[in-house]
Amino acid sequence: MSKGVSSNVELAANVIPEPGHQSAVRVRGVSRTKRGKMFREFKTRYVVIVVFSAAMCLPFHTIARSGAGPAIAGGQSESIPRVKMDRSSIALGRLNPASLRATTETAGRRRAANRTEFQSPGRFRAFNSKIVAAQVTATAGSESTGSGDINEVEPNDQTAQNVFMPTNILGQIRPSRDQDFFAFPCLAGEQVNVEVFASRIPGSQLIADLGLFDSGGNLITESVGDGVNDPLIQIAAPADGIMFAGITDAEGLGGSNFVYLLSIDGGVDVDEVEPNSRIPQALPASDVTIFGQLTSSSDQDLYSITGTQGQTLIIDVDASVFGSTLVSQLTLTDPVSGIQYFSSDHNDGNDPRFNILLPFTGTYVIGVAPLPGSPGDFYRMNVSFVPGDNSPVITSVTHIGRKLIDITGTSLNSSSIVEVDGTQVKTTLVQKGELNAKAKAKTGAVITVANLPDLRRSNPLVVQ
């Protein structure tokens, strides 16, 4: 991608246009009367198109609710431009090798003989590419929330863009010989999954070359696409610290149509096993990515996990970003008490995600279901655990008025936002460690606190 280009990536024609883009229109060879009529018709249509496009680009909660929407994590994009995806392949799930294979060959690229010349060696190895080791400090974002769905931000060819797992990054290779690098922290032995969607984006001309580098900037491994199959790297992290993912074109080409979606997440891959609408499917006691399918608008998928008090749990559902028609709701419940600790929808574009500090050691149930009126379809869900360091902690909730509650705890400050059953409410800092919130919190309501800029969330506390 050319230097100085906005992080809102200029994409190919298959991307839904942003509002506000204007074209010069000149009308010649017609009468003044007809010209005026044509201009009025064009102006009317243009206004309608702009208003409709602006509405479509608003996050769902902004359209659905009156007043301001909830605060957004700093440094993160609430939604990325939508691109067409080869959903028939992607829906198979990563455990099926056919999921990496595009339905059609990459447009506008020559066919490689036996598809080997694209693969050995890749450009990163052939040209001894090395990201500068001094770029290892990752500061933007939060390990306890993940980066979610974001845009590539230039320049990132020498200074890597900082991201946190799980994340999906929309970008483009432009101009020719462009290389995009992303830095992310990981733990020793953790399975790291780096997957490129390029051939599986209809209209993209990118044949992706994917490299993974250690904290010293040295190439660990490389995977190259071939115009039909996209590259995937799955590897155990060699040590605690920073790793780098790099992407470029296999032949050093580039341009506005060289679009990609880069997915970086941690954990083992697991397929959904039906039936799991009443009895939860037990997941491994580690980070995991589930590949599931909601078969109808009334279906729900339940999964049980074991967590430790004080850990931060991150759950991220990806459906819309991969071309699925699913619009879903995500919940976390205590199976013993039946208390629903959190519920989320549309917090990452059209897909739900959240993080929460676990209140006890034991079993939790994750639920995924279509929102009312939404059809069932395929999804991916990443479940990961990170240390809960620096997360806010709630110790007490007290009613001090008919519509006023007092919250005490640690790491509560002027950036804190109180949530009642997942909905943000007006919050006032009384003093360090004490907040007042304007809310009619009934008995049984669940209170959480999220701290800006990254919405790192507290433990849930039930109003007694």
Indicate the DSSP class of residue 336. T
Pair of tokens at residue 86: 């080869």
Q: What are phi and psi of 391, to 5 degrees?
A: -75, 145
Instruction: Look at the domain 393-462 and name its fold.
Output: Immunoglobulin-like (2.60.40)
> Stretch 298-302: mean pLDDT, rounded?
97
- What class, spelled out in words, does domain 1-266 have in CATH? mainly beta
Give residue 390's pLDDT band: very low, low, confident or very high (50, 70, 90).
confident
Pair of tokens at residue 440: 């009619």
Closest CA to 265 of 283, 241, 229, 289: 289
> Do 269-387 and 1-266 have the same topology in CATH?
yes
Q: Residue 132: helix, strand or coil by DSSP?
A: coil
Q: What pLDDT does 116 receive? A: 53
What does the angle CA 212 – CA 321 – CA 332 come to, to the nearest 5 degrees?
95
Sheet holding 281-282, edge to edge: 281-282, 301-307, 362-370, 328-333, 340-344
Give residue 18's pLDDT band: very low, low, confident or very high (50, 70, 90).
very low
**26 - beta bridge partners?**
none
Q: pLDDT of 326-382, one tens digit each?
A: 999 999 999 999 999 999 987 788 899 999 999 999 999 999 999 998 899 999 999
Percent of the chain with pLDDT over 70: 77
Strands 328-333 and 268-271: unpaired
CA distance 137 to 464: 44
Domain range annotation of the chain: 1-266, 269-387, 393-462
Instruction: Look at the domain 269-387 and name its fold.
Output: Jelly Rolls (2.60.120)
Contact call for residues 153 and 176 (beta carbons, < 8 A) = no
Which pTM does this prediction carry? 0.80
Contact call for residues 245 and 184 (beta carbons, < 8 A) = yes
Write down how long the chain is: 464
CA distance 198 to 263: 11
Pair of tokens at residue 177: 């010989």
Contact call for residues 394 and 356 (beta carbons, < 8 A) = no
Q: pLDDT of 170-187, one tens digit each?
A: 999 999 999 999 999 998
